[in-house]
Amino acid sequence: ASQKLEEKLVCSICLELFRVPVTLPCGHNFCKGCIRDHWHKGQQAPAAAKTGYTCPECRRDFERCPELEKNVTLWNVVELARDGDARGSGTGRCEVARGELCPQHGRPLELYCENEQRCICCICTVRQCQGHRRVLFEEERSKKQTFLEESLEEAQEESERIERAMQELDEQTRSIKDSSDKLKSRIQSKCTHLRKALEDFQCQVVARIEQEQVSRLERLEENWSLLKDSLDVLTQYKEKAQNLLACPDHRTFLQELPRLPRLESPEALVPVEFDVAHVIKPILETLADISRLLLEDLPGSVTPKAPNPTGQAPSTPLLFPDHCNLTFDPETANKYLELSRGDRKAKHIPSAICRQQEQEPRFEPWQVLCMQSYDSGHHYWEVKISSHAVILGVTYRGLPRERQHGHSFNIGLDSSSWGLQVREDCYLAWHKGQAEKIREELYKNLGVSLDYGKGLLSFYGLGERTRLIHSFHDVFTEPLYPVFWLCEGRVVTLCQR
């Protein structure tokens, strides 16, 4: 009965409870604003479509616009209905909180509209949501609750993942701070040593240059004195000769001529040269030692480590894109080394002389240079060896051709060459006659990386994993040539790409 009463208090134009109800002469009720807007729209229509003043319910026409007076009685009933909806009445309806009322109609929310995804009242059911799928709150909550529980589990898992990620970031932060502090301390220590080394170096170099200067100037002064004495003798000779030539008496001329001193060749001057190379050589050696001092024990960012791929052989063209194709120099090859495959393969044949040995520029040891040389940039090449008892390295062009120090090779025995000797049980890194022993797996495929500008020479073992065997740090001052030494029966092949 309450619902039927409420339906009678609804304006048929706006479908809402009457706001200011007015009654037309035909007895039908409307909101004052709704009927006025309805008639106003009818008056503005084209002449053929004008409707005049007509009741929207019964279509009764009025000759003139009826007076629209507020229906006070109906207004009071509407207000009572509104108050009853908001506060409840004597019909037994429970008191309803504001959040449980329909915001449009002020009625209790009783159903859920799946189409509009909202809670609705009975008036919404009849009007806006007529024909929509409507379900009870309990049914819709059951579906929504299942979804919410799944969403909550996902949120919990995501929260745990984020917390783990935050912990990892915290650990990385601590690691970076620790590494940074250690690196700063190490760099500060090395810079302190560097300053001390440079100060000592400066004093030694300046003293050496001054000593060389004094020595050369003394020799120049001696040469100047010799020239001055010779000039004085020549001046006296010229004076006596001119006087004799001016003598008019023939007898006197002939008697005095033998008494003139003979012109003698001046004493040979001592060659004097300020040998810059002789002065610079120890300077370069000291700078190399200082460079090594700075580079030793620094992290892998300074000494690059070989990559550590898993599951397949390394892709060295990606690691070192600037691969070089080398060829052996036949003019430098020892007479027992046979070159083939376009001078890319060298084999030591001890029983046959492959070429006549010459004084220059062939090696007396079983060695050979490559044609290529490098004085800047980064370069990489690969070699394949048949077995151990092989040395590979780089050298300046002036590497001695004869045997030295009783060795069968001379790679790495001075300051102008660097070499890696492959032995049966280890490797030996040679430089300045000193060998550093390296325990590592024997590789038959080896890679050499040369970064001339950084003074970095690295040797890699190439297998299922690429592994750094050894790195040299030095200051390079001349073009570097790849060089090889082969024991009897050994074969070295230069890999091409």
**DSSP letter string, 348-380:** E-TTS--S---SSSS-SSSEEEBS--BSSSEEE
Cβ burial, residue 74 (10 Å; 0-12/13-18/19+) = middle
CA distances (Å), 47 to each of 43, 50, 52, 326, in order? Answer: 9, 5, 10, 101
What is 316-494's CATH number? 2.60.120.920
Which of 357, 346, 375, 352 lies closest to 479, judged by CA? 375
Q: For residue 49, give both structure tokens.
A: 């479509």
- Rounded to the nearest 10 degrees, the angle between the axes of helix 137-245 and helix 276-295 is 160
345-348 vs 445-451, strand pairing mode = unpaired
Cβ burial, residue 112 (10 Å; 0-12/13-18/19+) = buried
Q: For residue 320, give both structure tokens.
A: 């070192």
How do residues 397-438 score in pLDDT, each as one tens digit? 999 988 877 788 999 999 999 999 999 999 999 999 999 999
Q: How far apart are CA 350 and CA 98, in angstroms?
A: 108
How do residues 174-194 score in pLDDT, each as one tens digit? 999 998 898 888 888 878 877
What's the pLDDT at 399? 92
134-135 vs 111-113, strand pairing mode = antiparallel
How do residues 367-395 score in pLDDT, each as one tens digit? 999 999 999 999 999 999 999 999 999 99
Which residues have C-beta within 8 Å of that of residue 324, sequence separation ≥ 6? 372, 379, 380, 381
What's the pLDDT at 304? 40
What's the pLDDT at 296? 56
What's the pLDDT at 289? 64
CATH architecture of 2-135: 2-Layer Sandwich (3.30)
- Backbone φ, ψ for residue 467 (5° rounding): -130, 135
CA 324 to chain centre: 24
Q: How far apart are CA 437 and CA 267, in angstroms?
A: 57
Outline where 257-326 has alpha helix (H). 276-295, 316-319
Question: Residue 45: left (phi > 0), alpha (psi -120 to 50), or beta?
Answer: beta
Whether 466 and 458 have beta carbons less than 8 Å apart is answered as no
For the full predicted model, state whether its pTM sits above 0.75: no
Compute the chain's Rg from CA coordinates: 54
Outline where 246-275 has alpha helix (H). 250-256
CA 182 to chain centre: 22
pLDDT lower than 70: segments of the chain: 1-4, 47-51, 84-99, 277-279, 285-286, 288-321, 352, 354-360
- Domain residue ranges of the chain, discontinuous segments joined by +: 2-135, 156-283, 316-494
What's the pLDDT at 106? 83
Task: Confirm whether 2-135 and 316-494 share one CATH topology.
Answer: no
What's the pLDDT at 487? 93
Q: How far apart are CA 121 and CA 108, in angstroms?
A: 6
